Amino acid sequence: MKEKWKPGTLIYPLPAVLVSCGATQEEYNMLTVAWTGTVCTNPPMCYISVRPERHSYQIIRRTGEFVINLTTEEMARATDWCGVRSGRDYDKFKETGLTPLPAAQVQAPLIAESPISIECRVRQVIPLGSHDMFLAEVVNIQADERFIDPTTGKLDLEKARPIVYSHGEYFSLGKMLGHFGWSVRRKKRIKRERTNKPAKKGE
């Protein structure tokens, strides 16, 4: 039996990302965001939702650009710190020891320590209530070579030990349960094995 609760935001876990923004080094800033995700494959599009009172809100609204930086266990403390301190009062890159790097397609900086940095250009700002959604197109991605398999060229994000946010708490990811589509492939494999099974004598 399930209890009935009032409406709320209970879709967890979510990626805990650091969003970097700013057109010049003097205004570079980072904010921690969990309200983020993918909304379209072609063209590749994503979103972040930000409270208008946040310092980064006006920077992103004015420049129309930002970078979503995935975070890791090593970045966990900095990720939390950037979520409770304001860029109005602190130089967050200096305080956290994280390193800004130039992006390829946007003015906002990347975070060098992030395994994946997703450069985004705002397509639409949608007022929702407590937050405004920045709907954005992905214009470039930069991946840390440390997590790319030199043989296959594939990204091994598990090596980076990414973290997620769940109802006020941060967690590292657990063991892998299977690849995408593994449940279907297993059934097909079983079916194929049964089909190819040699016939018994007399059948």
What pLDDT sits at residue 52? 98
Contact yes or no for 162/173 (Cβ under 8 A): yes
Burial string for 42-63 (b: 16+ CB within 10 Å, else e) reads: eeebbbbbbeeebbbbebbeeb
| Beta strand segments in the chain, E | 14-15, 17-21, 29-33, 36-40, 45-50, 65-70, 100-101, 110-111, 116-127, 132-143, 163-166, 169-172
The per-residue pLDDT string of the chain (203 residues; one tens digit each, 9 = 90 and over) reads 999 999 998 999 999 999 999 999 999 999 999 999 999 999 999 999 999 999 999 999 999 999 999 999 999 999 999 999 999 999 999 999 999 999 999 999 999 999 999 999 999 999 999 999 999 999 999 999 999 998 999 999 889 999 999 999 999 988 888 888 888 875 555 455 555 555 554 44
The conformational region for residue 115 under phi > 0 = left, psi -120 to 50 = alpha, else beta, is alpha
Domains and CATH numbers, the chain: 14-195 (2.30.110.10)
Quote the pTM value.
Answer: 0.89
Which residues contact residue 38 at a Cβ distance below 8 angstroms, ignoring those fewer than 6 apart?
A: 44, 45, 46
What pLDDT sits at residue 202? 46
CA separation, residue 164 to residues 70, 111, 176, 202 (Å) = 10, 18, 15, 59
